[in-house]
Amino acid sequence: MAVIHPEDRAVGLDRSKFERPHRLHPAFGLVIGFGFIFAAAAVVHALFTAF
């Protein structure tokens, strides 16, 4: 994995506008991930049972 050393970073780049003010809870990512899987499975199920 590549490592960007501090002296190799872009000079003058304001990183504060790229940082989020707060981190989301890890469970929120799990809910979104499993929700996407469930939604995709529901769409596939609906398509295959309709025809």
- pLDDT of amino acid 38: 98
- pLDDT of amino acid 26: 87
51 Cβ contact partners less than 8 Å away, ≥ 6 residues apart: none
- pLDDT of amino acid 5: 74
Residue type at position 29? G
Instruction: For residues 35 and 13, give the distance between their C-alpha atoms in angstroms, rounded to a whole number.
Output: 36
DSSP type of residue 9: S
- pLDDT of amino acid 4: 74
pTM: 0.51
Instruction: For residues 40 and 34, give the distance between their C-alpha atoms in angstroms, rounded to a whole number.
Output: 10
pLDDT digits (tens), the chain, 51 positions: 678 777 766 666 666 666 767 788 889 999 999 999 999 999 999 999 987
Taking the domains of the chain in order of start, what are their residue ranges? 6-50
